[in-house]
Homo-oligomer: A and B are copies of this chain.
């Protein structure tokens, strides 16, 4: 009953219904993952009295559980020392091409231009990056190397659009770079002067008659408290992969993914608060869907086919692009085919669901239409013998005819294998992290960053764009809120 009543509480409350404020601050940050920590640090650094609320006992959230990859570039110290040439222009070109049919050009521009500065800021918080490149292609190297390819930069068509450079920056704690990053950022929060209060759940935004946000109502240890935010409220509460209802409504195909990437708090609470206050949302149907057929990158020599036995993209693209295509465009069904010469198991094991001395036998075992796999492989081999892939433009280094029996198929179907998903849509914000109304104007007093917003990456994901844009636009949210006029 407690829970049932709690969910029926209003998400927005008129300021005149708040008899008194139990607490007053300048900037109130809701949620203490990567975006929230950066927002709090920057707001406090700008001189604002800052309080960060976290519903769990301590901060960290999904960021602390993540692989710790930050998508940064434009010529960071790590890129330079590892021998890679990059520029803000090339970084922006890649992101404009990779981030879906309507990339946010304003955000991409500022994110690319200020990426080197942002890298230094993160480093200055004590996060160390070893300036060495890990070539075996992964979002999260098993080593302490600090730089990886974390997107489709070297795959067609992106390699023709922008000069490839690795931009995945990973802290030097193998296997726990996300926790390491958050450990440093969380330590920097009190150091900045911002206060932190855990075990506190924001239940409503408080608004003035004109719609401007005045503060929040929260629950802490069973008590309801009203907290005024003189300059602004920053929502950094994460996405909604853990909320069955929102997922069902807005991103139903993500329900099919076996692994939902997100802490318990990723239930969309901040998105709902913003919507209820009149904010616009964006890309609620978008999700990052990883289909990890590599590393190792050499598994790109395999051929991925759909339920009609057809190829549908270049197998050497990033696993986020693979997953997106299989789930959203190929009914969630795919198999990765090898011959004896090319066979290599992906690091994440996949079941060998069909084998045969001919492609016809493999196709029959997979239940594919008669002749379909033979036609696909005959055409593929015909081109691959010449080192070409005119259908999907896989890179030459992964092209070889698959003609040495036995042949086999690894399972890549969404229902039976590992697909890792999280949501990418959320509140619509501008490049200053101001939450926008349906007409595109800032909703006074409300800011947001991280996965509670539609970030850079919806719907074309590259690893590192969550921590990357969360930390970057979290900082901007904190600075912008700190500089806002004090509300009545």
B-binding residues in A (CB < 8 A)? 7-8, 10-12, 14, 16-17, 101-102, 209-211, 245, 248-250, 252-253, 271-272, 275-285, 308-311, 329, 369-372, 375-376, 378-379, 382-383, 390-392, 428, 437-441
A439 and B102 in contact, given A276-B278, A280-B275 (Cβ under 8 angstroms): no
Least CB separation from A279: chain B residue: B275
Chain B residue contacts of A210, Cβ below 8 A: 10, 14, 17
**Bound Cα distance A17, B285 (Å):** 37
A252–B102 contact, CB under 8 A?
Answer: yes
Chain B residue contacts of A329, Cβ below 8 A: 329
Q: List 28 A-B contacts (CB under 8 A).
A: A10-B210, A10-B211, A11-B438, A16-B209, A101-B253, A102-B248, A102-B252, A209-B209, A249-B282, A250-B282, A271-B438, A272-B438, A275-B275, A275-B279, A275-B280, A275-B437, A275-B438, A276-B278, A277-B278, A281-B281, A283-B285, A308-B391, A329-B329, A370-B390, A371-B383, A372-B379, A372-B390, A375-B379
**Bound Cα distance A14, B205 (Å):** 16
Copies of this chain: 2
B369–A390 contact, CB under 8 A?
Answer: yes
**Bound Cα distance A279, B252 (Å):** 20
A304 to chain B, nearest CB (A): 13
Chain B residue contacts of A211, Cβ below 8 A: 10, 12, 276
B372–A375 contact, CB under 8 A?
Answer: no
The residue that A209 contacts in the complex, of B17, B285, B311, B375, with Cβ under 8 A, is: B17
Chain B residue contacts of A280, Cβ below 8 A: 249, 275
Complex A-B, nearest 3 residue pairs according to Cβ-Cβ distance, in ascending order? A369-B390, A102-B252, A272-B438
Supply 19 further A-B pairs (C-beta < 8 A) apart from A102-B252, A308-B391: A10-B210, A12-B278, A14-B209, A16-B209, A249-B282, A249-B428, A272-B438, A275-B280, A276-B437, A276-B438, A283-B285, A284-B284, A285-B285, A308-B311, A329-B329, A371-B379, A371-B382, A375-B376, A375-B378
**Bound Cα distance A280, B248 (Å):** 14
Chain B residue contacts of A390, Cβ below 8 A: 369-370, 372
Chain B residue contacts of A285, Cβ below 8 A: 283, 285
A47 to chain B, nearest CB (A): 31
A426 to chain B, nearest CB (A): 12
**Bound Cα distance A315, B66 (Å):** 44
A439 and B7 in contact, given A12-B278, A249-B428 (Cβ under 8 angstroms): yes
Chain B residue contacts of A278, Cβ below 8 A: 11-12, 275-278
A294 to chain B, nearest CB (A): 22
Chain B residue contacts of A7, Cβ below 8 A: 439
Least CB separation from A307: chain B residue: B391
Chain B residue contacts of A12, Cβ below 8 A: 211, 278
A437–B282 contact, CB under 8 A?
Answer: no
**Bound Cα distance A309, B310 (Å):** 11
Chain B residue contacts of A102, Cβ below 8 A: 248-249, 252
**Bound Cα distance A102, B378 (Å):** 38
A284 to chain B, nearest CB (A): 7
**Bound Cα distance A378, B375 (Å):** 9
A240 to chain B, nearest CB (A): 10
**Bound Cα distance A17, B211 (Å):** 12
A105 to chain B, nearest CB (A): 11
Least CB separation from A14: chain B residue: B209
The residue that A441 contacts in the complex, of B8, B275, B282, with Cβ under 8 A, is: B8
A373 to chain B, nearest CB (A): 10
Chain B residue contacts of A253, Cβ below 8 A: 101
Chain B residue contacts of A14, Cβ below 8 A: 209-210
Chain B residue contacts of A209, Cβ below 8 A: 14, 16-17, 209
A11–B382 contact, CB under 8 A?
Answer: no
Residue among A211, A278, A283, A308 with most chain B CB within 10 A: A278
Chain B residue contacts of A369, Cβ below 8 A: 383, 390-391
Chain B residue contacts of A428, Cβ below 8 A: 249
A203 to chain B, nearest CB (A): 11
A291 to chain B, nearest CB (A): 17
Least CB separation from A370: chain B residue: B390
Chain B residue contacts of A391, Cβ below 8 A: 308-309, 369, 372
Chain B residue contacts of A441, Cβ below 8 A: 8
Chain B residue contacts of A281, Cβ below 8 A: 281, 284
**Bound Cα distance A200, B284 (Å):** 33
**Bound Cα distance A431, B285 (Å):** 22
A268 to chain B, nearest CB (A): 8
Residue among A276, A277, A378, A392 with most chain B CB within 10 A: A276
